[in-house]
């Protein structure tokens, strides 16, 4: 061992010497002055890209952002803002209820024209967020242009801790059917989810849709705790395999789950990743839930975060995730272009080339990357016309103006013909090219989107999401899937009972 380690160290030292020489030549001879920090960080990024897509270097701000997200809070004003391109205004989509911005009277549709006296037209959303966030108790001055107001409004708002909710929405979508959407996995996910489950059970829930679409993952322990709520004691949630000591781990349900008896449908799509896939895979392998949607991303690489000097960090892949049936969650990443831009083949209905595994009851499931749903169903498909309306926030802009003119709306509001005529005039006003056929062919989506944005602006994003669910094909398919989910719940109960009789 000794001579081999010495030889490896010598080779590394030779390469480091070469790297130092190259850096020195660049700093002395390059046509323009080069910051050594920028050059070294670029070299680090290049080195890590030779490993896998998820090993990466976190600079100071990236590491801080990650810590804030995982802890479930940051200090700021509490607004959701949008700026599709640099030539578009910085627009408030919604203030978060109970936050400083909400208490100050910031409204959806407000345009933040200045921050601390500096125009915002030429800055990005990320740059704006850095200016708006800051230590708790400090103040920030913003100037707002509000539709319907002739003069600009000036606000001085004191920053405070802003909770970043992991459970985005929770409501009764039908009698006896609860709906919970989880946006990521942070340190507060388990607590938030349990609170919402209890509220919905008190409201009469005996069936659940758990929406993990677009959920990129987060903390492993929180994924295990989520799955634990629906599984019996001793059932495997996920296991990991790696090269170093301690990387081989097995995570099992504790038996403390209080929601193991009612049918569950889990919604996923190709942007559900990591912790989302752990939950979906565990519930599918144990026949505990019906999985509906599209095949998930396939992110099964375990990262360990190592803090470094200068408040930076290294997120290093140290193991692989496997579902209880032995499915490797991570999909192939030999081509990074194909990995980050899913090819058509990877979004096919049936994964013909993937490995076959079996659930507890013997149902076939597919491995080799991502979680393939039991029921495959596409999301809403948008053509060029609808994409333009979404990208330019046409529905949102129309809703802001519509609410100004109709202050007496209640929740019985539906989009009638006069509203559609107003919308057509608004398209012309915004110089959107369209035909009557465009409006007729997309009538259901247009009506649903108008209603969604009007409800979101008036009563909050959850209300907007709730009314839009009526035209969401994946949610509608989930509602249809409860007879099958009920059968799976019986299978899971039988498997759990058989397992318990074998225990000493």
- Catalytic positions are 274, 285, 299
Q: What is the distance between the alpha carbons of residues 230 and 214, in angstroms, rounded to a whole number?
A: 21
Q: Write out 15-82 in H/E/C secondary structure.
A: HHHHHHHHHHHHHHHCCCCCCHHHHHHHHHHHHHHCCCCCCEEECHHHHHHHHHHHHCEEEECCEEEE
Q: Can you tell me the distance from the alpha carbon of 392 to that of 429, in angstroms, rounded to the nearest whole number? A: 13
Instruction: Compute the distance between CA of residue 85 and CA of residue 74 in angstroms, rounded to an integer.
Output: 25
Helix (H) or strand (E) holding 168: strand 167-174
Element of type H or E holding 359: none
Helix (H) or strand (E) holding 455: helix 443-459
Q: Where are the alpha helices (DSSP H) in 299-442?
A: 336-340, 384-391, 394-405, 417-429, 436-441
Element (H, E) at 218: none
Q: What span, in angstroms and rounded, lies between the C-alpha atoms of 162 and 71? A: 11
Non-local (6+) Cβ contacts of 11 within 8 A are none
Tell me the torsion sign for CA atoms 393, 395, 397, 400.
Answer: negative
Say how many CA atoms lie within 13 Å of 78 toward its Cβ. Answer: 23
Distance CA 449, CA 459 (A): 15
* Residue 83 Cα to chain centre, angstroms: 19
């Amino acid at each position: 061992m000794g001579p081999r380690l010495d030889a490896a160290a010598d080779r590394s030292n030779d390469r480091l010497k070469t790297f130092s020489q190259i850096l020195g030549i660049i700093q002395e001879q390059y046509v323009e002055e080069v910051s050594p920090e920028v050059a070294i960080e670029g070299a680090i990024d290049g080195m890590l890209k030779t490993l896998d897509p998820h090993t990466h270097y976190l600079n100071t701000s990236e590491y801080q952002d990650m810590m804030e997200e995982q802890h479930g809070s940051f200090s700021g004003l509490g607004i959701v803002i949008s700026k599709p391109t640099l030539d578009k205004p910085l627009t408030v989509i919604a203030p978060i209820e109970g936050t400083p911005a909400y208490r100050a009277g910031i409204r959806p549709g407000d345009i933040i024209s200045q921050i601390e006296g500096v125009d915002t037209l030429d800055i990005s959303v990320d740059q704006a967020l850095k200016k708006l966030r800051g230590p708790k108790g400090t103040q920030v001055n913003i100037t707002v242009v509000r539709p319907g107001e002739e003069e600009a409004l000036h606000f001085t708002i004191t920053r405070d801790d802003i909770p970043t909710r992991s459970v985005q929405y929770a409501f009764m979508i039908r009698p006896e059917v609860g709906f919970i959407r989880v946006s990521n996995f942070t340190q507060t996910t388990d607590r938030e989810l349990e609170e919402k489950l209890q509220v919905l059970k008190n409201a009469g829930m005996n069936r659940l849709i758990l929406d993990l679409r677009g959920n990129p993952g987060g903390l492993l322990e929180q994924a295990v705790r989520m799955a634990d709520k629906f599984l019996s004691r001793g059932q495997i949630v996920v296991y990991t395999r790696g090269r170093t000591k301690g990387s081989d781990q097995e995570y099992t349900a504790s038996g403390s789950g209080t929601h193991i008896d009612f049918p569950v449908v889990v919604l996923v799509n190709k942007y559900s990743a990591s912790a989302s896939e752990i939950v979906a895979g565990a519930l599918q392998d144990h026949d505990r839930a019906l999985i509906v949607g599209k095949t998930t991303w396939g992110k099964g690489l375990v990262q360990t975060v190592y803090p470094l000097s200068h408040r930076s960090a290294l997120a290093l892949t140290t193991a692989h995730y496997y579902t209880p049936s032995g499915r490797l969650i991570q999909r192939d990443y030999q081509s990074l272009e194909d990995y980050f831009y899913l090819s058509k083949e990877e979004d096919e209905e049936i994964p013909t080339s993937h490995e076959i595994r079996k659930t507890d009851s013997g149902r076939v499931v597919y491995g080799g990357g991502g979680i393939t749903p039991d029921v495959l169903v596409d999301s809403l498909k948008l053509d060029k016309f609808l994409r333009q309306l979404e990208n330019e926030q046409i529905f949102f802009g129309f809703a802001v103006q519509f609410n100004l003119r109709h202050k007496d709306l209640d929740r019985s509001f539906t989009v009638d013909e006069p509203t559609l005529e107003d919308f057509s005039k608004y398209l012309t006003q915004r110089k959107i090219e369209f035909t009557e056929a465009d409006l007729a062919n997309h009538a259901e989506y247009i009506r649903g989107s108008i209603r969604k944005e009007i409800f979101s602006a008036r009563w909050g994003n959850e209300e907007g999401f709730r009314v839009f669910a009526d035209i969401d094909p994946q949610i509608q398919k989930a509602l249809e899937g409860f007879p099958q989910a009920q059968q799976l719940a019986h299978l899971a109960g039988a498997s759990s009972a058989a397992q318990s009789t074998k225990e000493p």
